[in-house]
Amino acid sequence: MKKLIAPSILSANFSKLGDEVRAVEAAGCDWIHVDVMDGHFVPNITIGPLVVEALRQVTKLPIDVHLMIENPDKFIPDFIKAGANWVSVHVEEGYHLDRSLNLIRDLGAHPSIAINPATPLSAIRSVLSLCDMVLLMTVNPGFGGQKFISYCKDKIIELKKEITSKKLSTLIEIDGGVNTNNIGDLSGLGVDVFVAGSAIFGSASYKKTIEEMKKSIG
């Protein structure tokens, strides 16, 4: 499958969010990554379904919603109704992960499990076949602009092995600290979807940065 770039709007200019999304779409990105934070699961608060609904009007690209919230089941229907195509639920928060993943699929979106750097992959093993993607956090969730945590490379390798050995088609998405310098190496480990916030929205030319990233991931 073609490898994908998903700019995280967390680092966009929120005062002109629609224009920012149009700009990264025009610059050639593949998905729009939306970070939803509730101030409980992570020490930051961002946006809710209303913003997803508004963004649905300005882009045709798949919207990739990353839920960093308590009680995800309560809000999953609202986000899908608003236009989310992919929904990631954290294994650390989803007490009923099986139910959450099935709910996402039943409502017509792609289910994904998100997992923090310090959480071992064994936590998601039993439900791997229920999801279309695993979102490996490569920084501690909550903020953009952090440094890639290097031990996460081992988790990418381990997860890729497991997906291959089980003959699954689950995508691997990484989120946090991805930039034009490290994206090539990370791609070589088997990553399919690259979230990048500050590296894209903090750059002078979104087009140049996305083109450079695409060249490095082949």
Kindly list the catalytic residues: 35, 175
Partner interacting with residue 176 (select from ligand DX5, Zn ion, none; CB below 5-8 Å by kind): ligand DX5
Q: Among 20, 25, 30, 35, which residue sits at the site for Zn ion (rule: CB under 5 A)?
A: 35
Residue 66: beta bridge partners?
Answer: 35, 88
Quick check: 146 binds ligand DX5 (CB under 6 A)?
yes
Q: Among 49, 72, 111, 177, which residue sits at the site for ligand DX5 (rule: CB under 6 A)?
A: 177
Q: Among 175, 183, 214, 216, which residue sits at the site for ligand DX5 (rule: CB under 6 A)?
A: 175
146: Cα separation from own chain's centroid: 15
Retrieve residue 213's tokens.
């990233």
Residue 65: beta bridge partners?
Answer: 34, 87
Quick check: 197 binds ligand DX5 (CB under 6 A)?
yes
Nearer to ligand DX5, 41 or 83 (CB): 41
Q: Among 29, 144, 194, 216, which residue sits at the site for ligand DX5 (rule: CB under 6 A)?
A: 144
Sheet strands side by side (includes 133-137): 4-7, 193-196, 171-175, 133-137, 110-115, 86-90, 63-68, 32-37
Count other Cβ atoms within 10 Å, centred on residue 218: 9
User: What is the C-alpha separation between 37 and 115, in angstroms, rounded?
Assistant: 15
Partner interacting with residue 216 (select from Zn ion, ligand DX5, none; CB below 5-8 Å by kind): none
Quick check: 195 binds ligand DX5 (CB under 6 A)?
yes
Footprint of Zn ion on this chain (CB under 5 A)?
A: 35, 66, 175
